[in-house]
Amino acid sequence: MNKSNHALFFLVATLLLSVLSCNTNDKIQAPSSLTVCEGFTNPIGFYDSHPTFSWQLPQAVQSQSAYALVAASSPELLPNKPDLWQSGKVRSDQSLYVKYKGEDLSSRQEVFWQVKVWDNQGNESKWSRKAFFELGLLHNNDWKAKWINLPDEKAVQVPEINKKVHRVQYLRKDIILDENVEKARLYITAKGLFQAHINGTQVGHDALTPGWTPYQKRIETLTYDVEALLKNGENTIGIELAEGWYSGRLIFRGYAEVDPQVIAQLEVEYKNGDHETFITDHLWSGTVEGPIRYSSIYDGESYDANFDMPAWSTNSFDDTEWTDVAAQSISENVALTPKRHHPVRAKLSLSTQTISKPAKGNVVFDLGQNMAGIPKINIPVKKGQKVRIRFAEMLQPNGEIYTRNYRSAVSTDFYMPVKDSVIEWQPKFTFHGFRYVELSGFDESFAPEKTWVTGLVQYSDFHMAGTFSSSHEKLNQLQSNIEWGLRGNFLDIPTDCPQRDERAGWTGDAQVFIPTSLFIADSHSFWSSWMQSLREDQRENGSVPIVVPDIDGRRTSAGWGDAATVIPWEIYLRTGDVKILEDSYQSMLEWINYYQSVSEDHIVDLFTYGDWLQPFSEHPTDERKGETDEKLVSTAYNARSVDLSLQAAKILGLSEDVTKLRSRLNEIQIAFQNHFFDAEGRVSKGKPTQTAYLLAIGFNLLSPEMEQKAIPHLIAEIEKAENHLRTGFLGTPLLAPVLEKINRTDLMFEMLYKESYPSWFYSINQGATTMWERWDSYTHEDGFHKGGMNSFNHYAYGAIGQWMYERIAGIKPIKAGYKEILIAPLPDGPLSSAQAKYNCPYGEVSSAWKMEKGVFQLNVTIPPNTTAKIVIPGKTGKNLILNGTSFSENADVKLLKKAMDTFELTVLPGSYEFKSFLTQKE
């Protein structure tokens, strides 16, 4: 080799080494989607001074081998001079719920944080963008303000609705700011409902704040950044105060014997560094002579424009005729704590689809979708002619609205005009469940228009997390109905229904629906918050109320109280957040110990609502309770709760508890089998219902030999019903998993696609746009169900959604938080395709399959820092196609086994397309 060739070789080698060196040292993309605790992004007024941190990896990164996290009191200190915490390089693949281990944090404190990671090849990422959170007022002694209200303002009888309601209070205070504002926070809450204003502008966009908690234990506070609303000089704070859940009429409790109050604290930091605090105290003034004459959760709101007070929350308003307020110090018995999930907001709007005139002077506007929220009306009115706004979920045969199922809830709004005009108005401190809006009292010289009524859909301010669709129109409608059932009942707490005189947090409905809800919606914080309320309302003997917050004060029920164990476990399984188990474990133990206290030889003798609203029930005293033996239901749920407590103890590393709980579970299983089943696997106590067998098999309460004997009896009960379900609230969620467990998914698909009563599609055929409380709440043939329980927005039967997502589309967690994912779709029935996407804690996971001309195609996406097991149907004697070519194992995809016309593979993060060839059966 001559010198020039040597030089050329050296140059090329040097350049190649340089490129390789650059590639090795290049930083990978930074982590993103930084959140704290249950998925909060840059929150202010945050509740947790011991937070956890989560992040997602870039799509190009398969897995994490290490991370470093820094936290500081100022963004300028990051990443090099963190004064609160620096983790150092931690060798771990953990990217969810990393516990803060830094300096103690206090009320009002701002924390800024960043994270970087190393991938599985050891490559270091850039630092993430800076995220932050700001704590709210964490302790009662942080409050200098006092509770205020107008003295002696009691509920009054309102003739037009024949109910007692508190009049809405208007409260105000003028303040002076001497300097330009750098930062301002309004901390506020109410015993009742509030809406704050500063200088004539509404503060925030939340509704029905502060929400509903066990008020005798805890009231949540809201924090608002109000710097932009303030000015140098004169300012005014105004607050509207309504009765809400705290002081209003509620089922079981009736009329409350307490009056609404509000407390607020405005903390201002000036640009010169000074601080000033303005509080609610005896120096405020108020009136009830404002335009909102009253507002009630159940009964609606009345607005009289003759009482309008223009600019009442500005400093130009004359309040000399107003009354001095009463002020009361904070009680140490009730904790004021920052709200720990997102408040209610108007999330969607629905336009009128059709207009009808069933009676003279009444016009009905059909929004086309049952919903929960409020109307926004834009109508012509005449001076002194009161507008009445009524609501309904359904129409009677004559076209008039059907309100019998609202029971005692008046659910009517009124508007009194001050002059002939076109008004735009919406109620503020109530909500309704409705599809139809009936207007009367408008100016009838105008022809009604669709623009007159818009539905504002209200629910807690979370994002929808999962989607599902298929080739089957009615299955897609079922999915829509499930989603709208969630939207209609996730209004600050999980309610049973949004329309009648109930709207309570029924624990049984909640525990059967939570798996479905966590797929549809990013409801992690929603459920965690409600579980804190459940723990607070749990009684000293360990019993759990039938509703939370507990407005009943008396009853508990098997299958309902088990929300104490089921919900924490489901939150953990689907989010990976172990904190919910840490927080709830003692409550779980107290519940199963309560079961034990009402048991004899492990057979539970406890009231239960049973398999609620089982169709064709012949219960001797209450047909709503279903026919399954009540002790069987209670004992089965005791075993279920002991099992979940056992699983929680394993996760928490409580080895002694694991041993004790495993022994207890084994004893209950033996007692259950011996007491409720004969030697041939038949139910021996009570009626041999579908639900009795489903509980026994679904909760693993029979020995393997006895389970095999019981299976034919379950099938016989289903066949006796001509392959229809005969299950209520507790049995229905078990149908799909049990029939899959015993290899009878063919039967489950047949039941799912049934068109006749009772079935999911039956209510769709009757016009359902949400989930109904009964399978036959309404029928074209017989009209409305005659029973008093007849809600057209009740999510319990939407629990089937879990199986639709996990098995029809095929996305299911194997390990908590979807750290390991099962993709195993079931192509069966009349479907030719199905697809689902879910934003799991690690990122988006998707599964989409279709069948065409004997070819099964599956497209999947697996998020970073996870792995997946994929089960694909197809002839194992033919080649599997991966991304367009014949399959062969590689670093990302490995074949586990071929068995029973399926391929089982493990895959690393990424997007893949598989094709297989189906057998004739498929």
The burial class, CB within 10 Å (0-12 / 13-18 / 19+), for 911 is exposed
What's the sign of the alpha-carbon dihedral 228, 229, 235, 240?
Answer: negative
- Write out the DSSP string of 664-679: HHHHHHHHHHHHHB-T
Q: What is the DSSP letter of 880?
A: P
Residue-wise DSSP of 793-831: ---GGGGGHHHIIIIII-EEESSGGGSEEEE-----TT-
User: 3-state class of 922 per DSSP?
Assistant: coil
Q: In angstroms, rounded to a whole number, what is the distance separating the alpha carbons of residues 579 and 577?
A: 5
CA 572 to chain centre: 14
- What is the sign, positive or negative, of the torsion defined by CA atoms of 595, 596, 597, 600? positive
> Catalytic annotation on 627?
no
Catalytic residue, chosen from 502, 570, 707, 717, is: 502
SS3 at position 436: strand
DSSP code string of 277-346? EEE-STT-EEES-SSEEEEETTTEEEEEGGG--TTTTSTT---TTSEEPEEEPPPTTSEEEE--SPPEEE
Q: List Cα–Cα distances, 94 to 567, 576, 843, 903, in angstroms.
A: 24, 11, 14, 30
- The 3-state DSSP class for residue 2 equals coil
| 494 φ/ψ sector (left φ>0, alpha ψ -120 to 50, else beta) | beta
Q: Which residues pair with 432 in a beta bridge?
A: 373
Q: Is 722 a catalytic residue?
A: no
Residue 662 phi, psi dihedral angles, 5° rounding? -65, -40
Q: Quick count: other Cβ atoms within 10 Å of Cβ 892?
A: 14
HEC profile of 606-644: CCCCCCCCCCCCCCCCCHHHCCCCHHHHHHHHHHHHHHH
* Plot region of 181 (φ>0 → left; ψ -120 to 50 → alpha; else → beta): beta
| Residue 410: other Cβ atoms inside 10 A | 20
Residue 728 and residue 692 in contact, taking contact as beta carbons nearer than 8 Å? no
3-state class (DSSP) for residue 568 = helix
Could you list the active site residues?
502, 773
